[in-house]
Structure 1
Amino acid sequence: MTATIEQTPRPRSAASAVRLHGVGKIFGTGAAAVTALHEIDLDVRPGEFVCLLGASGCGKSTLLNLIAGLDEPTTGSVTRTAARPSFMFQEAALLPWLTAARNVELPLRLGGLSRAARHRRAGELLELVRLGGMHARRPHELSGGMRQRVSLARALAATGTGPDGPGLLLMDEPFAALDAITRDVLQAELLRIQAATGITIVFVTHDVREAVRLADRVVLLSSRPGTVVREWAVDDDRERLHGEITARLRQVITSHAA
């Protein structure tokens, strides 16, 4: 099953939503130190969908944490001009005692919005992710795909997307635990939602086909220490691009194993 969506190209500013210059990250000290990232240079434009691709352990998740401001780089600088970022993970991580609507309202409540404003915005976001009739359901009453939709709505609420302008969404393999059909549908839904909101997305994956389907640009990281090996702008010839990126990824993995 393949869900399709028409997208209207959006003009993008030349300014960066996120800029990383010479970023390195070392964990530990002395002989026990581990260099996770080395000399990362990356610009993400407002409204752009960038996929970070690489083998397990190459530092993709560490890079997301640096972009989010959850950790500081050891070297280099991270500059973020987009609205506040939010995360979406492989697990939905919903609060089981709250309804879908209340889970979406949580970051709005922490942000100081009134009850009426929270209720209205949560309703809008649940409609956006096609769960308008599920606002009173608790997580155990929802399928895995539905829980991820609620998680996406909550992440969008946390970014400030809406009257304050598009935000920054950081996604760490959010569909990896889903079955193939649900993953396919949610990938198409994510494209629809990005087209509707103009949000900037940085998306971590190890799946080349997923990266080529979703991204405006694919960034390949080397094995540890992670650094940018190459970038590709995604064009209409996705099958050719899939083959090219897969071959380059295999080279990266093989050279590391050697």
Structure 2
Amino acid sequence: MSTTTSAVPVNDVSATAVRLAGIGKTFGSGADAVTALQGVDLDVSAGEFVCLLGASGCGKSTLLNLVAGLDEPTSGELVRPTGSPSFMFQESALLPWLTAGRNVELPLQLSGLSRSARRARAAELLSLVRLDGLADKRPHELSGGMRQRVALARALAAATGPDGTGGGVLLMDEPFAALDAITRDVLQGELLRVWDATGTTVIFVTHDVREAVRLAQRVVLLSSRPGTVVAEWQVTERHGAVGEQLHDDITSRLRQVIASHAA
């Protein structure tokens, strides 16, 4: 089997930001081989918000790792941005010895931005996630929700570039799963606001159907291992009877996938 990886400019809004064609990923070889993904076909447009939904172990995180360039597919063709996509995880993964502002500055420093320019950009991003005035706080001085906001600001710094015009791709691996329900609800709303303001392409992994329907323009369901795309839904209505019907349809299909795997 062969694999091809290529890239598209992150600021080409007319482009497909991410394309997976026949993507497969197998770990190990011989009798010990485990196929995590098989025949995955998925296009994500620049500026689109896509949620990947599926049972535990279906390959969602593996797919994000491939898009991020942290691993390479075993087979298929993968097109991803020329710039490195940024990642946001369940844990904020902030550097505890740095302030919130310096954590956000880090990807800007690595890109070669001057100290004054990266401080100004970090302040803009902290303001965007509603953390004005907290740049000098260290992670242990912030709540869990605040730490995730800092992590989001840092991810945006990497995704949008020094001048904030890069568009970029943000990969989010269940970033709100460890938070309490109220904080999670608030941050979901904040993420939508930030996405709308920045035009960043978002690929968001979740187990939560309601979260997927609330956030995404498109929900993509992966089968149980080996993961492949088995269904997609465009989200045109998040509330009311139509939104509830969509939630019920996705939940029913997800249960079928889980049941077929258990059988």
TM-score for both structures, normalised by structure 1: 0.93
Name 1:116's counterpart in structure 2: 116
Residues 83-162 of structure 1 correspond to what in structure 2 (within 5 A)? 83-161=83-161, 162=163
Q: 1:194-253, CA deviations, whole angstroms, 9 ceiling, x for partnerless residues?
A: 000000000000000000000000000000000000000002121110000000000000
Match for 2:189: what amino acid? A
What SS does the corresponding residue of 1:98 show, helix, strand or coil? coil
Unaligned runs of 5+ in 2: 1-11
Q: 1:207 to 1:192 in 2, by over 3 A?
A: same
What SS does the corresponding residue of 1:61 show, helix, strand or coil? helix
Q: 1:160-214, CA deviations, whole angstroms, 9 ceiling, x for partnerless residues?
A: 3444421100000000000000000000000000000000000000000000000
Name 1:17's counterpart in structure 2: 17
Residues 187-226 of structure 1 correspond to what in structure 2 (within 5 A)? 187-226=188-227
CA distance in 2, matches of 1:251, 1:78: 29
CA distance in 2, matches of 1:62, 1:14: 27
Match for 2:221: what amino acid? L
What SS does the corresponding residue of 1:133 show, helix, strand or coil? coil
Name 1:238's counterpart in structure 2: 243
Q: CA deviation at 1:256?
A: 0.3
Q: Of 230, 252, 257, which residue of structure 2 is paired with 1:252?
A: 257
CA distance in 2, matches of 1:169, 1:82: 13
| Cα contact 2:157–2:164 (8 A) shared by 1 | no
Q: CA RMSD in A?
A: 1.2
Identity of aligned residues (%): 74
What SS does the corresponding residue of 1:26 show, helix, strand or coil? strand
Q: 1:80-102, CA deviations, whole angstroms, 9 ceiling, x for partnerless residues?
A: 14643100000001111110000
What SS does the corresponding residue of 1:79 show, helix, strand or coil? strand
Q: 1:163 to 1:152 in 2, by over 3 A?
A: closer
CA distance in 1, matches of 2:233, 2:165: 31
CA distance in 2, matches of 1:183, 1:245: 21
Between 147-156 and 159-168, the greater mean CA deviation after superposition:
159-168
Name 1:31's counterpart in structure 2: 31
Q: CA deviation at 1:133?
A: 1.2
Q: CA deviation at 1:69?
A: 0.8
CA distance in 2, matches of 1:175, 1:158: 20
TM-score for both structures, normalised by structure 2: 0.92
Match for 1:46: what amino acid? A
| Cα contact 1:51–1:211 (8 A) shared by 2 | yes
Name 1:45's counterpart in structure 2: 45
| Cα contact 2:172–2:202 (8 A) shared by 1 | yes
| Cα contact 2:101–2:135 (8 A) shared by 1 | yes
| Cα contact 1:83–1:160 (8 A) shared by 2 | no
What SS does the corresponding residue of 2:16 show, helix, strand or coil? coil
| Cα contact 2:55–2:258 (8 A) shared by 1 | yes
CA distance in 1, matches of 2:107, 2:14: 30
Equivalenced residues, count: 247
Q: 1:84-134, CA deviations, whole angstroms, 9 ceiling, x for partnerless residues?
A: 310000000111111000000011111111101110110000000000111
CA distance in 2, matches of 1:103, 1:180: 26
